[in-house]
Structure 1
Amino acid sequence: MISPQARSDAQVLWDHHLMHHDPRPCSVAIGLGSHDLGVADAAVSLYRRGMAPLIVFTGASSRTTRARMPRGEAVHYRERALELGVPDSAVLTEPRARNTGENIRFSRALLEEAGVDLSSVLLISKPYEERRANATARKLWPGVEFVSASEPTTFEEYLASIQDDRMVVDMLVGALQRLMIYPAQGFMVRDPVPDEVAAAYERLCGAGFTSRLVADGNGARR
């Protein structure tokens, strides 16, 4: 369980991470690997709605996914999509990416090698990774229009589905930190963080939700 204040602050971060894009038909859908099979479910739902004729699932494994997805995130996503009725011919798998930048770069290379002509990408992630993924993609793949999407769910519903409140809040905090420090490191375009979101982030850091923080340019973890 987390405190009411932490829960309130986490809701502020959750709301900020969402891009609030309306899904529309794109050249391809790219599902970014994670611990959450909901990304695959969202990709399948959007495919069924005619939002993309082709899905790319990208992702190896990490310390948070190794136990749940031993064959790699993209492979498990692909298996999930096939179980849900997506034809094999409509799914490509990129199994090497270990971070968001590699998700984008490796997916781009895979699609170019496959000769896929595209002008727009439906970028599917966990809800709290929408803004970070979008900012990364716009930095690494200029000239392409990105529409962000995720499984439609509320913060409370997501907590209940994952059943690990602390891990989710740690992830929210880590994603927000990257939005603040990665533009200066050249990893993504700058996306301003409102003062009230930054304040909620600082309170959560002070409350110990820091396991997903990375060292900034000065070596500090904040």
Structure 2
Amino acid sequence: MMLETDISQLSKNPTDDQIKDAQLIWDYHQMHHELRSVDVGIGLGSHDLGVATFAAQLYRQGLFPTLVFTGANSRTTAARFPRGEAVHYREHAITLGVPDSDVLVEPQATNTGQNIVLTRELLAGQAGPVESVLLISKPYMERRAFATCQKMWPEVEVICASEPIAFADYLESIGDPGLVVDMLVGDLQRVIEYPALGFAVEQDVPDDVRIAYERLIEAGYISRLMT
């Protein structure tokens, strides 16, 4: 099992060049899929409540009739979402106008593979086949979510989406640019390494993105790397 590096470090203040490298990786993580109607929307749990906000918006736009939130807790979300990511996401979506009856919860998943597999199992007990899904995630998690779903649920058509926010605005909203860069680097490592472990399908990584990734690792953005 691969674990995040346990490292104590001060929050970094990225240089302008490091922000440019991080922007390259941010752009790569996003799939730029054209949104359309699907059978089910799936909100992937995380620290980012914006996922639930955007999922509710897409539901209200009529892109899917059923919304599933999936996710238990991680060490970074336990304090914020003590009853579990999916439960809090569901409650938030209902306050934004999504009917209670149209929101399902998968509360056990602790990683992206489980998000997909356990949601697939949950939906298998519902009426009607699922042929297409819209995965809603953090902006820098789209590509990993796509690659994971292609591996774990290959028979379904998958479209990815995230809150439409510019990288600079996302950095400001989180309030810790160094942490965001760490997370971008960690997600890219998973995109690169998970296929060999059987967790995801292979994704082409452009040379400039790999070089930016390596530079950021050398600069010490490693707190979200796996060992």
TM range (shorter): over 0.9
Deviation at 1:166, TM superposition (A): 1.6
Aligned 1:1-222 pairs, distance under 5 A: 1-215=13-227
Q: Which amino acid aligns with 2:97?
A: G
Q: Structure 1: how far apart are the matches of 2:107 and 2:151?
A: 22
Deviation at 1:124, TM superposition (A): 0.5
1:145-166 deviations in whole A, cap 9, x for unaligned? 0000000101011111111212
Deviation at 1:116, TM superposition (A): 4.0
Pairs aligned (count): 215
Deviation at 1:61, TM superposition (A): 0.7
Q: Structure 1: how far apart are the matches of 2:203 and 2:191?
A: 7
TM-score (norm 1): 0.95
In the alignment, structure 2 segments of 5+ residues that lack a partner are 1-12
Q: Structure 2: how far apart are the matches of 1:183 and 1:48?
A: 35
Deviation at 1:10, TM superposition (A): 0.5
Q: Structure 2: how far apart are the matches of 1:199 and 1:27?
A: 38
In the alignment, structure 1 segments of 5+ residues that lack a partner are 216-222
1:130-180 deviations in whole A, cap 9, x for unaligned? 000000000000111000000010101111111121221111000100111
Q: Structure 1: how far apart are the matches of 2:75 and 2:189?
A: 19
Runs of 4+ aligned residues of structure 1 deviating over 2 Å after TM superposition are none
Deviation at 1:114, TM superposition (A): 2.2
Deviation at 1:115, TM superposition (A): 3.2
Q: Structure 2: how far apart are the matches of 1:61 and 1:9?
A: 30
Q: Structure 1: how far apart are the matches of 2:212 and 2:128?
A: 42
1:75-98 deviations in whole A, cap 9, x for unaligned? 110010011111000100011100
RMSD: 0.8
Q: Which amino acid aligns with 1:48?
A: R
Q: Structure 2: how far apart are the matches of 1:184 and 1:168?
A: 26
Identity %: 60
Q: Which amino acid aligns with 2:52?
A: A
